[in-house]
Amino acid sequence: MKKSGNFAEPQSGTVAAPKAGGMSGFKTVMGKVNSVMDIIGLWLFRLRKIVLAAPVVYYALKLASYNMQHLPEQVGINLQVSGEFAQTVSRQLAVIGPLGLTLACLLLMFCSRKAIYAWAVSVFTLTLPLLLLFSNAYPY
């Protein structure tokens, strides 16, 4: 036998891979599912402000268009105990005011690091168009 410099002769056969059944197969599938869930969670975290803002913008615009059609020409604000309003404003101002306030809160949300606080305030501002509609909907 000649010295070839190799410590072991090359193997002539192949080694069979272990079967991917049973518990190891389950671990492999769950590992892939976890990696997909991690990627989805990462993208939801990166897009969290857009995901939070989308339904607020949708409902703010929907309420604004509804109020533009159903509010009277002069909208009363600050309802007194006597049943009269302390001040009246135009319909356009009553629609654009709460919409602008909601959009300003969403702008603050996009500028801040803590998105949930400004988002909660913007959700709360969606009650303003509803309050204007309910307070001005009774028959004269």
Q: Which residue has the tokens 């356009």?
A: 92
Opening angle at CA 117, ends 114 and 119, nearest 5: 105
Element (H, E) at 76: strand 74-79
Which range is least confidently modeled, 11-25, 32-46, 99-113?
Answer: 11-25
CA separation, residue 71 to residues 1, 60, 94, 95, 140 (Å) = 103, 16, 9, 9, 13
Q: What is the pLDDT of residue 86?
A: 86
pLDDT above 60: residue 1: no
Q: Sign of dihedral through CA atoms 21, 22, 26, 27?
A: negative
Q: What is the pLDDT of residue 138?
A: 62
- Which letter, b or e, does each residue of 103-123 get, where b requires 16 or more Cβ atoms within 10 Å of its Cβ? bebbeebeeeeebeebbebbb
Q: What is the pLDDT of residue 45?
A: 86
The CB density around residue 98, as the number of other CB atoms within 10 Å, is 22
pLDDT-derived band at 19 (thresholds 50, 70, 90) equals low
Instruction: In whole angstroms, give the CA distance from residue 10 to residue 5.
Output: 12
Q: Are 77 and 88 in contact (CB under 8 A)?
A: yes
Q: Give pLDDT tens digits for 52-91.
A: 899 999 999 999 999 999 888 888 888 788 878 888 889 8
pLDDT-derived band at 95 (thresholds 50, 70, 90) equals very high
Q: What is the pLDDT of residue 103?
A: 92
